[in-house]
Amino acid sequence: MSDSTKSEHAERRQETEEERLDRNLIELLQELRVASLGVQFLFAFLLVVPFQQGWVEVTDFEKRVYYVTLLLTAAAGICLMAPVARHRIRFRDLDKKWIVDSSHKYAIVGMVFLALAITGVIMLISHFVYNEATAAVVTTALGLGIGWVWFAAPLLRELRDPD
């Protein structure tokens, strides 16, 4: 959204730039609460997996998928928690524009990491329970589904929106 579109939107809402930043930050933090919960559940699942009895039967491929997925989940958590840390450290310095702008970027990157981590978990479980072909099909379908719902559809909407 361009700066002129932002100011037109602010005028329609009858809010100042500071009020808009406050609203944007509140909305962002609410969204991050949902995403962070997903990361926490996924991370907890991944932390207990290697300690299960069946883990000794995994292949080297599955071990690598597991470890990459664990790292992706950690990266998602770091990015999705970054806005909270940034706000906590900088809010008294009245640096809200930087907090909102940079946190917005971290939230998107965190969602990309989370999408990859979810896809990785599905690949790991599908490969362990079924076979390579099933894992490939299911992982690809899920990855494409997440890619469409989370990223492509909103971006396509933005390209089609005349404002």
pLDDT digit string, tens, across residues 106-121: 999 999 999 999 999 9
Contact by Cβ (8 Å): 67, 123: no
Segments making up each domain of the chain, as ranges: 16-160
Q: Which helix (H) or strand (E) holds 148?
A: none
Residue-wise pLDDT tens digits, 46-58 = 999 888 888 888 9
Could you give the CA distance from residue 66 to residue 48 in angstroms, rounded to a whole number?
12
Mean pLDDT along residues 58-81: 96
